Amino acid sequence: MMLRVLFLLALFPLYAVCAPLPAPDQGPALRIQGSNTIGAALGPALVKGLMEHQGLQAVRIEPAQGANEQRVTGKTRLGKTVSIEVAAHGSSTGFMALKKATADLAASSRPIKDSELVDLDPLGDLKSPDAEQVIAIDGLAIILNPRNPLNALNTEQLAQIFNGEISTWEALGGVGGPIHLYARDDQSGTYDTFKELVLRLRGKPLAAGAKRFESGEQLSDAVSQDPQGIGFIGLPYVRQAKAVAIVDGDSQPMLPLNSLIATEDYPLSRRLFFYLPPSGRNPWAKALVDFTQSSKGQAIVAANGFIAQQVQAIAVEPRASMPEDYQAIARDAQRLTVNFRFEEGSASLDNKARQDLQRVVAYLKSHNKLDKQVTLVGFGDVKNDPQRAALLSKLRAMAVRRELVKNGVILRDIRGFGAQMPVAANTADEGRIKNRRVEVWVY
């Protein structure tokens, strides 16, 4: 209900009556700690948007005391100053700050770890739907110097490159001599994501000689000025560097395109999170989460170079590598920019899928597609029996169907394609989870 209200407020601001949030007598109204990827620009921009939505005046973003720390200030109509602090020192620091009660909201560019979940249990279940909020989708771009002729790398090669096993461009069929590695620092959620998606899966540590950066912008600029450089970076920070296409397992080579990142098909896509402790009593924290999920908040996400979660329909070009029945769907329908995924080892929709469900229903209602205009297409990971894989993929699609039917959607068709068209390697849990997905197609 709150999402619907905020959506209406964003569409009809002239008629919105926004209950003002309390302005504290002293200290900041809200303290956000965590991811540099979020905190560098997106977090302050969302805070500024919330303050303006609240009717505060003269809202501005300014540097705070420490490096990578900012303060957003505004004035109430009575002239009282309200400030919100955003500290961006890495995702891990956000969870540590929640434990120390030095932050009200954690910003993270990776999911909370099991150890952090246990550590923060006194604050409530941070994996509950209200606590774990996916605010945007980001893609980790692998960047090269613009003059480097390589156009694609697979995730196995990436692990060997950043481990130092592959140490020259010639070993990759290129030119340029020794490879120079650029990486984010240990506190960075970007580094955590790269480590999880690329290095840890293959049991490889980062090479000791890699140059480390706290700032994504500085890393990108360094690679763009080094003909022998390679680095990994959040999508908004490609800047003057060159992004290469990535292959994972049997997937097609994929560039970090908006549509492929929105559906999380791109191998190095990731979710950006706010974590709101259930025990928290700060109304500004809840208001910021709700504002971020509104259409106005998601527009700010897009304006800052990340992928918003607003649902769109896109045309998909049929390819010979696709199953014939899938090609037929692609010729006649458009795909929505969302994939429904599931909790690990479960048929239950994950927290993002629960939010996406309402976005899809809103899209279908606004485009008059509730009655037999939707086909669900399920996929899965490899099983010993292909027929079992096909059945399980269709059952996942039926799980999504049940939720859509509750919201008045009458399906046109449900299809299961088993383990065909993988978007990730099936050799690890992370890849299998990505392959267990349900696409939405509209006619």
Q: Could you tell me the sign of the dihedral formed by the alpha carbons of 296, 297, 300, 302, in that order?
A: negative
250 phi, psi to nearest 5 deg: -100, 15
pLDDT tens across the length of the chain (443 residues): 444 434 434 443 333 345 789 999 999 999 999 999 899 999 999 999 999 999 999 999 999 989 999 999 999 999 999 999 999 999 999 999 999 999 999 999 999 999 999 999 999 999 999 999 999 999 899 999 999 999 999 999 999 999 999 999 999 998 899 999 999 998 887 898 899 789 987 899 999 999 999 999 999 999 999 999 999 998 889 999 999 999 998 898 999 988 899 999 999 998 999 999 999 889 999 999 999 999 999 999 999 889 999 999 999 999 999 999 999 999 999 999 999 998 766 668 889 999 999 999 999 999 999 999 999 999 988 877 778 888 889 999 999 999 999 999 999 999 999 999 999 887 777 778 888 999 999 99
Residue type at position 351 = N
Residues 6+ apart with CB under 8 A from 442: 313, 333, 334, 335, 336, 364, 367, 369, 373, 374, 375
Asked if residue 135 lies in contact with residue 301, where contact means CB atoms within 8 angstroms, the answer is: yes
Report all structural domains of the chain as residue ranges with CATH numbers, in order of start. 2-131+276-303 (3.40.190.10), 139-260 (3.40.190.10), 311-442 (3.30.1330.60)
Greatest C-alpha distance within the chain: 69
Asked if residue 189 lies in contact with residue 35, where contact means CB atoms within 8 angstroms, the answer is: yes
Q: What is the CA radius of gyration of the chain?
A: 22
Q: Which of 175, 154, 179, 151 is nearest to 165 (CA)?
A: 179
What token pair was written down for 179?
Answer: 């490879």
Predicted structure pTM score: 0.82
